[in-house]
Structure 1
């Protein structure tokens, strides 16, 4: 029983300490980060001042202008 309680306590602590829980943006398709990866682009800034990094498959398509 003590081993079970110890295991649960450790798992609870680890779930609180794991990094990587980033804020989402751009209709939940982007992530707020200090620096974006190579293919990601920044279109807006997050409320915390970081870049909203958007993956290529969620980036808006550029439409050619018709004159």
Structure 2
């Protein structure tokens, strides 16, 4: 019984720590992270309260208001 519980705990832990499992955001151009890399900017926030780190070339350009 202890071996079964140990196996289940190990599998649960490994499923949480799989590499490359970052969530994609902003039309699949960004990644949800706690901290963005140097050449990335935060434009929106993900549903899991992490920042959506997007490279500047994929962010929309700001248009000046025209009247």
Post-superposition CA distance 1:1-22 (Å, at most 9, x none): xxxxxxxxxxxxxxx7751221
Structure-2 residue corresponding to 1:62: 62
Q: What is the total number of aligned residue pairs between the two structures? A: 52
Post-superposition CA distance 1:3-57 (Å, at most 9, x none): xxxxxxxxxxxxx775122100111111000001122111211111100001111
Could you tell me which runs of 5 or more consecutive residues in structure 1 were left unpaired when the two chains were aligned. Answer: 1-15
Using the alignment, how far apart are the partners of 2:39 and 2:50 within structure 1? 17
| CA-atom RMSD in angstroms | 1.8
TM-score by length of structure 1 reads 0.64
TM-score by length of structure 2 reads 0.64
Using the alignment, how far apart are the partners of 2:57 and 2:21 within structure 1? 22
